[in-house]
Amino acid sequence: MKLFSCLMALLLLLLLQAVPGLGLPKDTLHCLGYHGFCFRSKSCPEPFAAFGTCSWRQKTCCIDTTSNFHTCQDEGGHCVPPEIKCLQEQVGLCPHREWKCCTEL
């Protein structure tokens, strides 16, 4: 019985490691969803830009500005909720996943 308990604990441990994102804070998952990195400092090193928080607001989410994942404000746009109509949409990341980047409202 003791061997069975040890095997089950080992199986559970392997399962938790195999499933990405299991047990991570919501803000960390949001950051990783935008291909961001979590830094301990409040400011991001170059070429990264701050894009929210990680680890229950204890770390800073930083995204690489040299990649294709530029923030909406870096591209000259404004983040708006989905119910607002844009005259012209633009590529750019917004802090809320369902929001869109608009150049003109």
Overall domain count for the chain: 2
Quick: pLDDT tens for 32-44: 887 888 989 888 8
Question: What CATH number should be reported for the domain holding residue 58?
Answer: 3.10.360.10
What would the 3-class secondary structure string for 30-83 be? Answer: HHHHCCCEEECCCCCCCCEEEEEEECCCCEEEEEECCCCCCECCCCCCEEECCC
Residues 59 and 85 in one domain: no
Residues 62 and 75 in one domain: no
Quick: pLDDT tens for 12-67: 434 444 444 457 899 888 888 878 889 898 888 888 888 889 998 999 999 887 77
Residues 78 and 88 in one domain: yes
Q: What is the pTM of this model?
A: 0.50
**Which range marks the domain in which residue 30 is found?**
25-68
